[in-house]
Structure 1
């Protein structure tokens, strides 16, 4: 086997490996023109999931007793998709009348942070960049993240600057968002789900982290909250 052929095979194997473990999530594989949407790309069918189900592998949770108490260990069940979680998250996004982000190619870059706190109002923050225009949209429901979503209570938008976009994307970069584990990486009770989606002209990704209280991913999400006029105490930021 000559050197050139070996290099081609090596690249092909590496590409296949990265695709299988989730580092390559081309928007091409999710585009679906059969999904019925309105003019704003909001699904008209309330049963339509807001995420490709294969992006949410099922997570198995074990409670393990140790000398220091009980700890939770999680394990991804390959090939099993967590439809309960996808439907739960989707129900709140339907109530927010948010657009789908995965079903069509876009000519802009979008990040959406959906925040589902068990006992508090569900919120979503969608930051969009198109050419030299930067807009943050946010919505608040009057229900609760762990129960029924309720109806839209607050719906606002704000024109932001390139500096604010850059600060946010730097935080996303520090969190290694595009390389994070897909789907719901951890599980807990009576906390919150921090769900981040990203889409651009070539890629789509969604991850969910349970109740982060520090770290780069937390900081990226918290930065979006800080760009709004919402007044939240530290106690409510769980």
Structure 2
């Protein structure tokens, strides 16, 4: 069962989120394991109403303005801590970065970070030994690949088709089991994060799937849930 959520809009200016008090190492990886990887206001809590109708019971959901989904933020952050990934929102940068974090309930957590700095294009990916719906485990694979401007352009075109910078913030839907597809984007002026539950197809799926295809990971189509 999937629940579609009505979202609240938030400013995505990086100025809103920069915070020099967050303790990080030289790679901008947080040194405090309790540090969230996302601005919490981008993940408001969901309120569910069970409504009886002539055809049975239906569920309506809406976000609770002014509240934060601590569980979701901590869940996602726990896996990114295990991956030793950098924060993307806490300071201004001279790069453009997109990061797709893939948390499948019963499969190994993965992250794919595509960076553009001047005329260099680098894709980093990591795989943990655990499972997305359970304990993250430890880093099992950590690799990088130098890519081309053509590959960066194709990816950003897919991002544009998904209308990423205008997508609803936080989680667009929820369901049992399945997977969380979390995309962040940051540049010199803006930061955004969205999470889609088990997209299966569509422009957002295509953008994330393209990052997977640029690696040497062998993932069957049935496992891309």
**TM bucket normalised to smaller:** over 0.9
2:9 and 2:169 in contact (8 A); partners too: no
Structure 1: unaligned runs, 5 residues or longer: 1-19
Partner of 2:3: none
The residue aligned with 2:86 is: 99
Partner of 2:96: 109
The match for 1:159 among 146, 157, 160 is 146
**Aligned counterparts of 1:138 and 1:34: Cα–Cα separation in 2:** 28
What corresponds to 2:113 in structure 1? 126
Superposition CA RMSD, Å: 1.7
> Are the structure 2 counterparts of residues 53 and 33 from structure 1 closer, same or farther at C-alpha, using a change threshold of 3 Å?
same
1:75 matched to 2:57? The reply is no
State the partner residue of 2:36. 49
Match of 1:193 among 160, 163, 180: 180
CA distance in 2, matches of 1:113, 1:194: 7
Deviations 1:44-102 (A, max 9, x none): 00000000101111123456678988765431111111010000000000000000000
**Structure 2 residue 212 is matched with structure 1 residue 221:** no
Is the Cα contact below 8 Å between 1:119 and 1:144 reproduced in 2? yes
2:9 paired with 1:21: yes
Contact 1:59 1:186 in 2 (8 A): no
Partner SS for 2:112 = strand
Is 1:211 paired with 2:203? Answer: no
Q: Does the 8 Å contact 1:64/1:71 carry over to 2? A: yes
Q: Structure 1-normalised TM-score?
A: 0.87
Whose Rg is larger?
1
TM-score, structure 2 as length reference:
0.92
Cα contact 2:25–2:31 (8 A) shared by 1: yes
Question: Is 1:171 the counterpart of 2:137 in the alignment?
Answer: no
Kindly provide the CA deviation profile for residues 203-226 of structure 1, in whole angstroms up to 9, marking residues without a partner as x: 000000000001100100000000
- 1-side partners of 2:58 and 2:33: how far apart? 37
CA 1:188/1:112 → structure 2, altered by over 3 Å: closer, same or farther? same
